[in-house]
Amino acid sequence: MVVPWVGFPLGDLLKRFKPTSRAAYVAFETLVDPEQMPGQRRAVLDWPYREGLRMDEAMHPLTILATGLYGELLPNQNGAPLRLVVPWKYGFKSIKSIVRISFTRDLPTTTWWKSAPHEYGFYANVNPKVDHPRWSQARHRVIGEGLFSSKHETLMFNGYADEVAGLYRGMDLTRLY
């Protein structure tokens, strides 16, 4: 689905805090409020939801903090007040309702990586050559085309390979998924 996000590059915000060379990663944490978010009452995940990016991924101009979509303010169900959008990664990396952003020297533990490390790697780059243990990721349906529409070939990095492949040069993207 192509979503016209409203927001600003995450890197613009991070530069204001002058991270030192010791900051290798950016960690994110979501709001915990079961009154507003009743799904948090279930022990499906270890709340708060946590995500992380390498510093170079976070500083990339395509990585944005969304404050809205379709020209409107971001609704609660879409992650208000701030949502991370990293278009070349799988959706679970786009943490919603961010309340804490921090720099860290160490690889941050992320929610899905902690919950199911054999299924969800830290990087979560769209890589059609690496199947999820329970389904193929080589083809996908486009939201809005209908349930019975034909599937499309999934593109490396969700079609952003020209812009972001250099971030992963030399890495084994079948092992570091």
Q: What is the CATH number of the domain that holds 110?
A: 3.90.420.10
Residue 2 has pLDDT above 80, yes or no: no
Residue with more model confidence, 34 or 2: 34
Q: What three-state secondary structure class fits 171?
A: coil
> How far apart, in whole angstroms, are the C-alpha atoms of residue 152 and residue 142?
8
The reply to whether 175 falls in a domain is no
Q: Please give the average per-residue pLDDT across 64-75, as a whole number.
A: 96
The reply to whether 119 falls in a domain is yes
Residue 9 has pLDDT above 90, yes or no: yes
Q: Which of 28, 35, 171 is nearest to 111 (CA)?
A: 28
Domain that holds residue 46: 5-168
The reply to whether 63 falls in a domain is yes
Percent of the chain with pLDDT over 90: 79
Residue 174 has pLDDT above 80, yes or no: yes
Could you tell me the CA-to-CA distances from 11 to 6, 26, 69, 96, 162 in Å, in that order? 15, 11, 19, 18, 20
Residue 175 has pLDDT above 90, yes or no: no
The reply to whether 160 falls in a domain is yes
Per-residue model confidence (pLDDT) at position 144 = 85
Give the model confidence (pLDDT) of 76-110 as tens digits. Answer: 989 999 999 999 999 999 999 999 999 999 999 99
pTM above 0.85, yes or no: yes
The reply to whether 103 falls in a domain is yes
The reply to whether 68 falls in a domain is yes
Domains: count for the chain:
1
The reply to whether 174 falls in a domain is no
Average pLDDT over the chain, rounded to an integer:
94
- Distance in angstroms between the alpha carbons of the first and the last residue of the chain: 22
The reply to whether 96 falls in a domain is yes
Residue 1 has pLDDT above 70, yes or no: no
